[in-house]
Amino acid sequence: MTAPITVTDPLPALPAKQRIRQAFDQAATGYDAAADVQREMANRLAAHLLQADVKEEPVAILDAGCGTGYSAAWLAQRWPRTELVLLDFAPAMLAVARTQYPGTRVICADIEALPFGDGGFGGYWSSLTWQWNDPRRCLAEAGRILEPGGWLAVATLGADNFPELRHAFAGADGYSHVLAMPPPEQLLAECRAAGWSVRVWERRPVRRHFPDARGALRSVKAVGAREVEQRRPAPLSRGAWQAINNRYEQLRDADGLPLTYDGVWLIAARP
């Protein structure tokens, strides 16, 4: 029997978070074909976790922000006897994950308010989800549901994403076209202050190249990562788009137009 999607209490009605959920729901069917950066981030997180000294066989692992379930295959293969729980706040993403992992427990909920009791998990995995939330609340919830000594494995984004888009859109209007995120060093400091044992901390750029500006923007939209702090009420004019394209072209190199993610990886053990 296929495991149902369990829906917890209604998600917070915050406009920004609801827009983000809608964006990921809309991207669900084509997400896997476009998510090569997301796969690279998850693969590197897996490599870091293998190198870290973590508990060998957790009773249960939570994949927090599982999306369509890419990481679940590796987690299930690495710990075949461990209960794996998949959680995301986008129902359409979970619908895809459920078809790939029938029988796995699948839950629709907010990672800032996890629907679990204290200390029930030995491992917490989250790849490219914390940046859409408050990292402090995510860390607190991860610590609450993990047993003492349980491991935390997080891939997220720093504060310097898509500098090429910031350059291209500079002067186009007064709106932000890149989601603002806190400096990742703040998360590291809070993690250590809370007593976590940090095993791995890495920050490095993840870059892709595209033949043109529209291709770069489509790649961002295709994985749902299009939310910004200030939403523009009307489309840009044709002249404005031409100016944006011209500014982006200033950055072209031998491989095309670059687009850079500010990748961050963290492995830690709960006190």
CATH number at residue 141: 3.40.50.150
Q: How many domains does the chain have?
A: 1
Residues 6+ apart with CB under 8 A from 130: 65, 111, 138, 154, 156, 187
pLDDT digits (tens, 9 = 90+) for 216-243: 887 776 544 544 444 555 566 788 889 9
pLDDT exceeds 50 at position 113: yes
Range of the domain at 99: 5-162+180-210+259-269
Structural domain contains residue 167: no
pLDDT digits (tens, 9 = 90+) for 242-259: 998 999 999 999 999 999
Return the bridge partners of 7, or none.
108
pLDDT tier at 166, thresholds 50, 70, 90: confident
pLDDT digits (tens, 9 = 90+) for 67-85: 889 999 999 999 999 999 9
- Cβ-based burial of 177 (10 A; exposed 0-12, middle 13-18, buried ≥19): buried
Q: Which amino acid is at 262?
A: D
Kindly report the pTM of this predicted structure.
0.84
The pLDDT > 90 percentage for the chain reads 53
> Among 88-102, 113-127, 144-158, which is the least confidently predicted range?
88-102
Fill in the DSSP letter of residue 236: P
- Alpha-helical segments (H) within the chain: 15-27, 31-34, 36-51, 70-78, 91-100, 135-145, 163-169, 184-193, 213-222, 238-249
Return the bridge partners of 61, or none.
84, 123
Listed residue (92, 93, 75, 96) closest to 84, CA to CA:
75
Report the SS3 class of residue 81.
Answer: coil
Q: What is the structure's pLDDT at 90?
A: 85
Q: What is the structure's pLDDT at 35?
A: 63
The answer to whether residues 16 and 226 touch, using CB atoms and an 8 Å cutoff, is: no
Report the SS3 class of residue 248.
Answer: helix
Structural domain contains residue 253: no
Q: Of how many residues is the chain composed?
A: 271
Q: What is the structure's pLDDT at 169?
A: 84
Structural domain contains residue 226: no
Structural domain contains residue 240: no
pLDDT exceeds 50 at position 201: yes
Listed residue (176, 112, 172, 175) closest to 144, CA to CA:
112
Structural domain contains residue 59: yes
The answer to whether residues 222 and 34 touch, using CB atoms and an 8 Å cutoff, is: yes
| Cα distances (Å, whole numbers) of residue 51 to 37, 58, 223 | 21, 16, 29
pLDDT exceeds 80 at position 19: no
Rounded CA-CA distance 57/271 in Å is 18
Give the pair of three-digit tokens for residue 102.
């029938």
